[in-house]
Amino acid sequence: NKNTLLNNCAPGATYHKIDDPGMFKQMDDRWTELTSDVKDSKKYQRFWEHEFLKHGTCCEGHDTEEAYFKLAMRLKDRFDLLTILRASGIIPGNYYSIDSIQKAIEGVTRAVPNLYCNPDPNNPRM
């Protein structure tokens, strides 16, 4: 409940790679690193490192990689964005205003989502 973006709360923090095979499989299945193949994803974990250092370091009580990612997956299960959007008639493959997408998400989560458009699909933002 801080009225600021919670990003990069621990500058200089170190990311510890996911070594547990079960946890790695869950992460790969549910939070896939789309910019690399499975072998490189497992070896480097750049996307997960980025997410943990940017957001996980701000997550009180979930300050290990495993705790943060498990919490994130529980939240994903609780607030399934595709289901939320479909319930509002927003179907992938069509065009909608950011306002209509934002209202659909906010109506269920009671939080204003941080949305942006990616103007270059060949260079996705993380």
What tokens does 30 get?
């549910």
The model scores a pTM over 0.85: no
Query: Residue 119 pLDDT > 90, yes or no?
Result: no
The single-letter DSSP state of residue 104 is: H
What amino acid is encoded at 78 in this protein?
R
pLDDT digits (tens, 9 = 90+) for 1-36: 556 677 889 999 999 999 999 999 999 988 888 888
Only one residue has tokens 């621990």, namely 10
Q: Look over the chain and give the mean of its residue pLDDT values, rounded to a whole number.
A: 87
More confidently predicted of 6 and 69: 69
